[in-house]
Amino acid sequence: MFAKSMAVFGDCLGENIPINSLKLRKITHSLTFSNEKAMRELGWKPMNVLENFQIE
């Protein structure tokens, strides 16, 4: 509720404010992409991150 209030206040002050309704929506909603097209059209084969991740 506090964040929403600050976002509405930011809307009134302009785009250069650290928080506004658009920025709040971007950081609080999920954003998911599909790799289906890259796999289908480019033949891309993604690696399993857990099996291929190494720290050097």
Domain locations in the chain as residue ranges:
1-51
- Is this model's pTM higher than 0.85 or not? no
Rounded-to-integer distance, Cα 26 and Cα 42, Å: 30
Rounded-to-integer distance, Cα 10 and Cα 23, Å: 10
SS3 42: helix
Q: Which helix (H) or strand (E) holds 12?
A: helix 2-13
- pLDDT, one tens digit for every residue, the chain (56 residues): 899 998 998 999 987 889 999 999 999 999 899 999 999 999 999 999 888 888 87
Of 3, 5, 9, 8, nearest in space to 27 by CA: 3
